[in-house]
Structure 1
Amino acid sequence: MAAHVQIGQGTLEGVKDGDVFKFLGIPYAAPPVGELRWRAPQPPSAWGGTRHAKRFGPICPQTTGASFDLRQTEESEDCLYLNIWTRRCDVRAEQPVMLWIHGGGNLGGAGSEDACDGTKFATKGVTLVTFNYRLGAFGFLLHPKFGANFGALDHIAALLWVRANIAEFGGDPANVTIFGQSAGALGVRTLLSCPQANGLFHRAILQSGGTERPAFVPAWSPARSHKAAEALFAKLGSGDPIELRQMPTAAVKKASHELSGIPPPPGQIHTPANLTWMPVADGIVVHDSLAGWPDNVPIMMGCVENEARYFIKPAGNYTEETQDKMSHVLCGPQAGAVHSLFKQLDLPLYDRLDKIFTTTIWTEPAMESIRKFSTLGRRCYYYHFNKRSPGSMVRNEMAKHTADIRYVFGTLTDDGYYDNTDHAISDIVQNTWISFARSGIPASPDGHEWPRYDTSSPKAAWIEDGVDIRPFPATELMLMVNKLR
């Protein structure tokens, strides 16, 4: 069944699937092509007649990073499209709006990914929005000739579009929650530092990312990004802005991938900390301070138990030398103490690698962040996700990086990977996310509120085969790594 909505740009025709209206492939900015490559996104054009919004727009050029079925194979620099799921197209509905920023290392992914389908959110009274943003060098080049942080500017453009139009889709523009995972969580954190985003969102959720830098690496700096841009220009054979904006998409995409940090530099371990194309505090779009984070905006954040198993696969060939290298690269002066700790714990080798990698890249930076945010007087909530499905245990993936996404969106598959307990936990998790979006306080369906993080007695919601409140999960390894700061 067709569904029609009138917005400032023109009339949209979406589809109704059961109780949910879907509007897909809506342009939220002008195509960033030609003269608009490496420029701030411009307002989208109006159209005459009715525009069909029944299929996803093209995904951004990419070579790696996507974790799920993109449901769209067409790639184009003309990629700035968003998607909406809602059960009410009525300005009087005033539903909470949740805007999802996809992950993928700023190298891959899209708002069309099947794991992030908004249908279940919509059935529960949320107006759910996903969108594409520029990736790799297309989105995160920094150079005085061009500017910086084009992907972050795309995030802001999507939020501006939401503020102007979301009421027509039953959403409340005064109640917008931004949430994302991995690079998407970094996108959320970046918006907290963008003055232009101030007032465009009212809650924020960071899943497995967006925290303080890992203790063993310096912050991403303008100088580092400038060097990467110069290397890109060298590969493309020109430093002239006119010529560079005329370069074929495929040539820029290839050079972007070759400089992406995959594989990492010699002597390093492949981690997200190696990735090149990242938002950077340029003092214009992104600030060093949390300049885009109003005092009354609460955040919820957390990690999953076995983040590393997404990167270091269970079937990999690892040796004790692997651990030695990982310890020295990721733990620096604390490598000896880490080695002694693992001798006491007597863990299998793969479990040790998982704990080192997960701790240094995710859980210790998250601990540092939640402490910092709380010290600033911000209202923060922390969770730890350790739900392991039957399929994840068979594959020894456990609660790996990205494992939480299908639970949050209610998109668990029916191929035997999940069981009835997983579906029950998914319902609890999604309802808690929605509770936070509605009120700024995460509460389980039974009405129990999660505790605000308090440095004097830190607590966290532990998500496993149920949800219970436990002391903040600061391990001895996390505390060791924290000494590097």
Structure 2
Amino acid sequence: MTPALAATAHGAARGRLAPDGVASFLGVPYAAPPFGPRRFRAPVPPEPWTGVRDATAYGPTAPHAPYAPPFDALIPEGVIPGDDCLNVNVWTPAPAPGTGLPVLVWLHGGAFTNGAGSVPAYDGSAFARDGVVCVTVNYRLAADGFLRLPGVPDNRGLLDQVAALEWVRDNIASFGGDPDRVTVCGESAGAMSIGVLLASGRARGLFRRAVLQSGACHHFLRPASAGRITAYLAAKLGVEPTASAFAAVPLAELLPAAAALRGEMGPRPDPALWGEAALNIMPFEPVATGLELPGPDCGVDLLVGSNREEYRLFLVTTGRLEAVTRAQVRAAAGAYGLPPDEALAVYRAGRPGALPGELLDAVATDWFYRIPAIRLAESVPGSHVYEFAWRSPAFASRLGACHALELGFVFDRLADPSYAPMLGADPPQALADEMHGAWVAFATSGDPGWPAYDTDRRTTRVFGDTPALADDPRGAERRLWDGVR
């Protein structure tokens, strides 16, 4: 590979130009290392550097503990040590100013505790190949990013994302991108982050379009619940619930203790301990005072959707699918706010002979992912809605159209070995062409290639074995959630 050069506001960077014409610039800092006196503080700009900074290898990742088994073998991620973890990676077909290409900024998922923009599975070469500058972002995770602490800003991970978007605004023209044509795109926690940014208006003017995959505006913790988690983690570590006390805990102790909270919540989903987090088993989420939807004046084009069987990732891979009882499904429906008997009758009618675990997947998928996506689309006229329905052959074809399965298709990286454990053998390239192409079209023009969603027809693009349009898929189940979710 030959060198490629780009100028940023903080110094010049040297990347690599691949034979196919795509240039990559990896590990470019958008904010200063968030440690020492900057620990648990809002991000600040990086120090300028002299000379030309090498940008041919991924930079450090935000500190985090590994996924617990079996997810550590299924979901791509990695840890690169180092303090300079607030960095971006850029792929571009035109590493020169003035080209004015559309830009897609990727916010990774990982339940606000895991993931990194440097995961090879998020390589943005296919977007650059198709004329879109792709930027992937690291942001602070778990306690450093989202633990509520007195005297310091909440939602530091979101503040990092805003700082990264500001870096894009100020620098992306040097990489061939147009700062007025930015699409922010995320999956799971990344999409939930975008939902909060949209609802709060915190990043207004920093992006023109947004793609939210398997996440929207409904996942956050109210301050009281966030405070309960802070108190519990502090007691677990034997420290005071303050920023200075947590900063004094070595990362080798803090990271596993924070990661262990999810494992402790599952067997004891007690709201007295965990507050609202007891329902979704995510101890680290953005802190907000209540649910807000962005509304028609948000000024952002939206593409939003979910996978048809999201929750199977958590049921099938752990062996729980066949172990779920009718009583557990009924209890889950009630905890989500549905009238259990009426709701389960509707879900069973659409799934004759379904196991209780399969009904739990359907109910939980709707509560976590599908209904929040629909509510967001309803609030912003002109939004486009999709559903990913291709079923993986992995795990004896039981994995289904589960959470995170669409990622290899969106990034057009079906051959990446990181995705193989979930995709199984021979995933359909034609579907990747369709889905990746729709994301490229949306980032380019705001039109992914199908009609916008409205409350009359509720047109949804279904990405399955044969991509198709559907009006109000599973409408009877959707109507159960009116006034509930």
TM-score by length of 2: 0.88
Is 1:12 aligned to 2:13, yes or no? yes
Alignment of 1:19-418 (within 5 A): 19-65=21-67, 68-70=75-77, 72-76=78-82, 78-212=84-218, 220-234=221-235, 235-260=237-262, 263-264=265-266, 266=268, 273-281=280-288, 289=292, 295-313=298-316, 316-318=319-321, 322-332=325-335, 333-341=338-346, 344=349, 345-349=351-355, 350-371=357-378, 373-374=379-380, 378-389=381-392, 391-392=393-394, 394-413=396-415
> Residues 55 and 271 (structure 1 numbering): CA distance in 2 closer, same or farther, change over 3 Å?
farther
TM-superposed CA distance for 1:401, in Å, is 0.5
C-alpha displacement of 1:238: 2.8
CA contact 1:27–1:80 (8 Å) conserved in 2: yes
Q: Is the 8 A contact 1:198 1:293 kept in 2?
A: no
The whole-number CA distance in structure 2 between the counterparts of 1:139 and 1:250 is 16
* Consecutive unaligned residues in structure 1, runs of 5 or more: 214-218, 444-449
Whole-angstrom distance in 1 between the partners of 2:395 and 2:94: 39
Contact 1:35–1:245 at 8 Å: present in 2 too?
A: no
Give, in angstroms, the shift of residue 49 of structure 1: 1.3
- Paired letter, 1:354: D
Q: Report the CA distance between 1:114 and its aligned residue.
A: 2.4
**Relative to structure 1, is the Cα distance of residues 272 and 157 closer, same or farther in structure 2, using a 3 angstrom cutoff?**
farther
Q: Deviation digits for residues 39-84 of structure 1, max 9, x if unmatched? A: 00010111111211111111122224575433x4323454111100
Q: CA deviation at 1:244?
A: 3.4
Measured against aligned partners, the alpha-carbon deviations of 1:199-231 in whole angstroms (never above 9, x if no partner) come to 000000110112435xxxxx6201111222223
1:209–1:362 CA contact under 8 A, matched in 2: yes
Aligned to 2:274: none
Q: Distance in 1 between matches of 2:90 and 2:55?
A: 10
3-state DSSP of counterpart to 2:216: coil
Counterpart CA distance in 1 for 2:296 and 2:84 is 30
**Post-superposition shift, 1:289?**
4.3
Q: Is the 8 A contact 1:198 1:294 kept in 2?
A: no
Q: Which whole-Å CA distance do the structure 1 matches of 2:107 and 2:83 have between them?
A: 18
Shift, 1:481, TM fit = 3.9
1:141 to 1:73, Cα distance in 2 relative to 1, 3 A: closer
Contact 1:412/1:418 (<8 A) preserved: no
Q: Against the structure 1 CA distance between its residues 26 and 271, is the aligned structure 2 distance closer, same or farther, given a 3 Å change threshold?
A: farther
**1:365-403 residue CA offsets vs partner (Å, 9 max, x unmatched):** 3233322x14xxx321101111235x3484421211101
Equivalent position of 2:470 in the other structure: 470
Amino acid at match of 2:409: Y
Q: How many residues align?
A: 464
Question: Relative to 1, partners in 2 of residues 1:236 and 1:193: Cα closer, same or farther, differing over 3 Å?
Answer: farther
- Tell me if the contact between 1:408 and 1:426 (Cα under 8 Å) persists in the aligned partners: yes
Residues 335-366 of structure 1, C-alpha deviation per residue, up to 9 Å, x if partnerless?
22244346654323143232222222222332
CA distance in 2, matches of 1:195, 1:412: 35
Once the two structures are TM-superposed, the CA of residue 478 in structure 1 deviates from its matched residue by 3.2
* Closer/same/farther in 2, CA of residues 365 and 253 from structure 1, 3 Å limit: same
Identity %: 33
**Higher deviation after alignment, 312-321 or 333-342:** 312-321
Q: What SS does structure 2 have at the residue aligned with 1:54?
A: coil
Counterpart amino acid of residue 467 in structure 1: P
In structure 2, relative to structure 1, the CA distance for the partners of 1:103 and 1:262 (3 Å cut) is farther
| Conserved? CA contact 2:439–2:448, under 8 Å | yes
Bigger mean CA offset, 314-323 vs 242-251: 314-323
Q: Is the 8 A contact 2:22 2:91 kept in 1?
A: yes
Flag structure 2 segments of 5+ consecutive residues without an equivalent. Answer: 272-276
Partner of 1:484: 484
What letter is aligned with 1:7? T
Question: How far off is 1:479 after superposition?
Answer: 2.5
* Aligned AA (1:337): E
> Structure 1 residues 296-305 or 172-181, which shifts more?
296-305
Indicate if the aligned counterparts of 1:176 and 1:203 stay in contact, CA closer than 8 A: yes
SS of equivalent residue, structure 2 residue 385? strand
What is the TM-score with the length of structure 1 in the denominator? 0.88
The 3 A distance-change label for structure 1 pair 308 and 241 is: closer
What's the counterpart of residue 446 of structure 1? none
How much has 1:404 moved relative to structure 2? 0.7
The 3-state SS of whatever aligns with 1:192 is helix
- Matches of 1:131 and 1:423 in 2, distance apart? 27
Inter-CA distance 147–331: structure 2 relative to 1 (3 Å threshold): same
8 Å CA contact retained: 2:348, 2:354: no
Structure 2 counterpart of 1:216: none
